[in-house]
Amino acid sequence: MRALLLFLAQREGIKNFILRFRIFRKTAFRFVAGETLQDALRAVHETNRLGMRASLDLLGENVQSRDHARHATQEVLEMLDAIHAEKADCNISVKLTQLGLDLDREFCYQNLREIVTRAASQGNFVRVDMEGSRYTQPTLDLVFRAREEFENVGAVIQAYLYRSEQDVGRLLEARTRIRLCKGAYLEPESIAFKEKRDTDANFVKLMKLLLDSGIYHGIATHDLAMIGATKRYARERNIDPNRFEFQMLYGVRREVQQRLSRQGYNVRIYIPYGRWWYPYFMRRLAERPANLLFILKTLFRG
Ligand SMILES: Cc1cc2nc3c(=O)[nH]c(=O)nc-3n(C[C@H](O)[C@H](O)[C@H](O)COP(=O)(O)OP(=O)(O)OC[C@H]3O[C@@H](n4cnc5c(N)ncnc54)[C@H](O)[C@@H]3O)c2cc1C
């Protein structure tokens, strides 16, 4: 089921069919804050009001023209300005294929550079999301390049990839802030763990490297076992809870988000918005087929 949903996530034709059903749209907006920046800022303020930080993500990936990539860059700059003007406790996340990585790496880097420069002038931070494995190396290359110029840019590491321990080592050498997640794409066994228990074991191993590094990292998971292992390790090693943060997705396990925050942990909510929500939504469905069952039941009842 997971493989099927991740396959469909890459098929635009299926998207047009699926969008005919209102229930898909309705369910998508449990995970997406809305289609406009105003919708997204409302969700950011609500998150801040509950004592949590946010990371805003303008949805969109694999753009096929320079115009689209430039347009996305402009929208991200407007997003940064709005966060600054409204004094929201919120950084941003960007995907390099939205900034033109498929078209021309230098062009993509210049778009990223413009965004990181603006964020730096406003005291803000840019997280570069990690996409499917064909982008792992180019994405890390551009993050390392940005780190030579800027402090306020960080990377994402996916625990399901065999290579991740090595990548963590290199990023820590460059004193780079990391978001650790399990990984959301369909990857072959030749490069990624297939069994949940293996990914989880690697997640815990990498989490320990991150917490020991003394750099401020994000532990991004909704898995109570991973959260518990992180809390325990921090306690054992006397690592202050203020030295790292938990990160979770908008609309996923809200009660866990708020409980962690009430317990005194830093919690950041990743808030996506915009019109291009189809692949993001399909990846969320793939993580929890129960969400799909809910949709199918509603369709059949209807
Ligand atoms: C802040 C943040 C940023 C991320 N950035 C990236 C990135 O840049 N690149 C990337 O590849 N992946 C990214 N991810 C996604 C991540 O890789 C996983 O696919 C996703 O978080 C599910 O893994 P999990 O750790 O929650 O554990 P899982 O073992 O998948 O889930 C644990 C439990 O959490 C709950 N849960 C998990 N997902 C959902 C859902 N969609 N709906 C409802 N319940 C759910 C379920 O109860 C499930 O049993 C990000 C995740 C977070 C939280």
CA distance 63 to 283: 18
pLDDT tens-digit profile of 95-151?
999 999 999 999 999 999 999 999 999 999 999 999 999 999 999 999 999 999 999
pLDDT tens-digit profile of 229-271?
999 999 999 999 999 999 999 999 999 999 999 999 999 999 9
3-state secondary structure of 183: coil
| pTM, to two decimals | 0.95
pLDDT at 184 over 60: yes
Told to judge if 67 belongs to the known catalytic residues of this protein, a careful annotator would answer: no
pLDDT at 292 over 90: no
Answer whether 181 contacts ligand 1 (Cβ < 6 A). yes
DSSP 86: T
Told to judge if 179 belongs to the known catalytic residues of this protein, a careful annotator would answer: yes
Pocket test for ligand 1, best of 92, 129, 249, 269 (most atoms within 8 A of CB): 249
Average pLDDT over residues 184-194: 96
Cα–ligand 1 centroid distance for 23 (angstroms): 22
pLDDT: which is higher, 170 or 287: 170
Amino acid 302: pLDDT: 56
Contact in structure between 274 and 60 (CB atoms under 8 Å): yes
> What residue has token string 């780190």?
147
